[in-house]
Amino acid sequence: MKESMNTPRAVWNNQFGFMMSAAGSAVGLGNIWKFPYITGMNGGGFFVLFYLLCIVCVALPVMIAEIYIGQKSRSNAVNAFCVLEKRPSSWKIAGMMGVLATILILSFYAVVGSWIFYFLQQSIFGFERFATREGVQHLFLEMTELAWVSFGYQLVFILATFGVVAAGVTAGIERLNKTLIPGLVCIIVLLLLYSSQLSGFSQACKFLFAFNMEAFTAGGMLEAVGHSFFTVSAGVGIMITYGSYLRSDAKIAPIAGTIVIVDTLVALASGVIIFTIVFSEQAAMSEGPVLIFKTLPLLFAQIPGGQFIAVMFFLLVTFTALTSSVSLVEVPVAYLSDKGMSRKAALSSLLCCITCLSFFCFLSVSAAEPLTLFGLTVFDLFDQLSSKVLLPISGFLFVLFFGYKLKSPSPFVELYPAVWVRAIMKVTTLVVAPSAIALVAVKLLLFS
């Protein structure tokens, strides 16, 4: 297949559209089910400060690097490297790893998406089942055991995601994010106001922001680096792809700064909301699916106005999952359509591929005999392969390519007119970010 030269490339309607779409990708389940937990476990205040440092010194440089590569090449995550080097480039392997990662992440994300839909529906029509531990336990089992029902929800999630991408970059992705992200911010503000009225609010703030030096360890530092990188969706080529639809005169640095601020504020607010609910009911903190599908439902049933809060919360989670999965689909779609496939054909073949792969993920968590490969469920294998292997390696390569390969014109001069900002960003991009990511990659590969 030849690179298609004649299809005009989509362009975001405006910078706000790009900002909302990139923020939609960045704000995901990681902000809600991971950040509060790791913050709590690592001593609150110091961890939050260190995390903010990682956002500025690791996540921001990688995000800027990716957007720049996309904006300059106006090409997909794989071909962008060849366009910028003006010849076939082996750096495109980094982009290929990113594309593979999006396919793996999408396959297990669809399973989580089905759980979210199921709990959203139950919070509206079956809220009384949240009242007892047995009820919630049963709901979770039912969701995984009622095979055809949960696979049906999974298909709905996949079709909704592909439906948005099929509508196009501006009419689908941009429009969805311009609607859902402000909606998400409203829900967060509402939940924050509500939690400020609960008894556990001040304890939650104290817990999250108090400086408990003893709990802050070297392991916690690496966790902060890894999470800062994951939370901005770096390393899969989403920002390269979204950046390729950005007008060439758009100023990348302030836009990227705004996106990471939105992502960080959502993470901090989620932390305050979730810890307030947990402390108000004197429950134990947990993370991941256990937090969202077991701990919180039980707590919603205890607090005043719990059903409304539960519906709002699951709506919030639905929004974050949809806006992230839409961005994941766009990466391989852009790659295939730049290769000459029509967008329709690219979407149809990906739809088949994701439906099949996500069916295996589904079987691996639902069937009585879980489907395993190399001692892991397919779900966990896809999760670990993408987050522990592909993401760090391709993110590392993206930032190296940007920092060391792009010379004339120098991206640093173009991006940072102020000399002191340029000096700081040179250090973070050329030294801090690559070494921090390399450390995390080694730790993830060897010690977990």
Query: Minimal distance in Å, beta carbon 27 to ligand PHE?
Result: 7
Segment interacting with ligand PHE (CB under 6 A) among 193-201, 232-240, 299-307, 407-415: 232-240
Q: Exactly one of 12, 117, 230, 401 binds ligand PHE (CB under 6 A); which one?
A: 230
Q: Report the residue number whose CB is nearest to ligand PHE.
A: 28
Query: Minimal distance in Å, beta carbon 413 to ligand PHE?
Result: 30
Query: Minimal distance in Å, beta carbon 128 to ligand PHE?
Result: 31
Dist CA 60 CA 256 (whole Å): 7
User: 106 or 136: whose CB is closer to ligand PHE?
Assistant: 106
3-state SS of the chain is: CCCCCCCCCCCCCCHHHHHHHHHHHHCCHHHHHHHHHHHHHCCEHHHHHHHHHHHHHHHHHHHHHHHHHHHHHCCCCCCHHHHHHCCCCCCHHHHHHHHHHHHHHHHHHHHHHHHHHHHHHHHHHCHHHHCCHHHHHHHHHHHHHCHHHHHHHHHHHHHHHHHHHHCCHHHHHHHHHHHHHHHHHHHHHHHHHHHCCCCCHHHHHHHHHCECHHHCCHHHHHHHHHHHHHHCCCCCCHHHHHHCCCCCCCCHHHHHHHHHHHHHHHHHHHHHHHHHHHHHCCCCCCCHHHHHHHHHHHHHCCCCCHHHHHHHHHHHHHHHHHHHHHHHHHHHHHHHHHCCCCHHHHHHHHHHHHHHHHHHHHHHHHCCCCCEECCEEHHHHHHHHHHHHHHHHHHHHHHHHHHHHCCCCCHHHHHCCCHHHHHHHHHHHHHHHHHHHHHHHHHHHHHC
Query: Minimal distance in Å, beta carbon 269 to ligand PHE?
Result: 14
Query: Minimal distance in Å, beta carbon 334 to ligand PHE?
Result: 15
The pattern of x and - marking residues 23 through 42 that bind ligand PHE according to CB under 6 A reads --xx-xxxx-----------
Contacts of 333 (CB under 8 A, 6+ apart): 165, 343, 346, 347, 350
User: 234 or 432: whose CB is closer to ligand PHE?
Assistant: 234
Segment interacting with ligand PHE (CB under 6 A) among 13-21, 162-170, 225-233, 291-299: 225-233
Query: Minimal distance in Å, beta carbon 330 to ligand PHE?
Result: 11
The closest alpha carbon to 27, from 146, 157, 177, belongs to: 177
233 part of the interface to ligand PHE, by CB under 6 A = yes
The site for ligand PHE, by CB under 6 A, has a size of 14
Segment interacting with ligand PHE (CB under 6 A) among 22-30, 284-292, 333-341, 414-422: 22-30
User: 99 or 436: whose CB is closer to ligand PHE?
Assistant: 99
* 304 prior amide bond cis, ω within 30: no
Segment interacting with ligand PHE (CB under 6 A) among 121-129, 227-235, 287-295, 359-367: 227-235
* 41-100: contacts with ligand PHE (CB under 6 A): none
* 322-361: contacts with ligand PHE (CB under 6 A): 324, 328
Contact 51, 384 (CB under 8 A): no
Query: Minimal distance in Å, beta carbon 30 to ligand PHE?
Result: 3
* 286-305: contacts with ligand PHE (CB under 6 A): none
Segment interacting with ligand PHE (CB under 6 A) among 8-16, 40-48, 226-234, 240-248: 226-234
User: 274 or 363: whose CB is closer to ligand PHE?
Assistant: 274
* 103-142: contacts with ligand PHE (CB under 6 A): 105
Query: Minimal distance in Å, beta carbon 448 to ligand PHE?
Result: 18
Contacts of 175 (CB under 8 A, 6+ apart): 167
User: 26 or 268: whose CB is closer to ligand PHE?
Assistant: 26
Query: Minimal distance in Å, beta carbon 76 to ligand PHE?
Result: 16
Query: Minimal distance in Å, beta carbon 202 to ligand PHE?
Result: 27
Q: Exactly one of 231, 295, 318, 366 binds ligand PHE (CB under 6 A); which one?
A: 231
The site for ligand PHE (CB under 6 A) is made up of 25-26, 28-31, 105, 230-231, 233, 236, 238, 324, 328
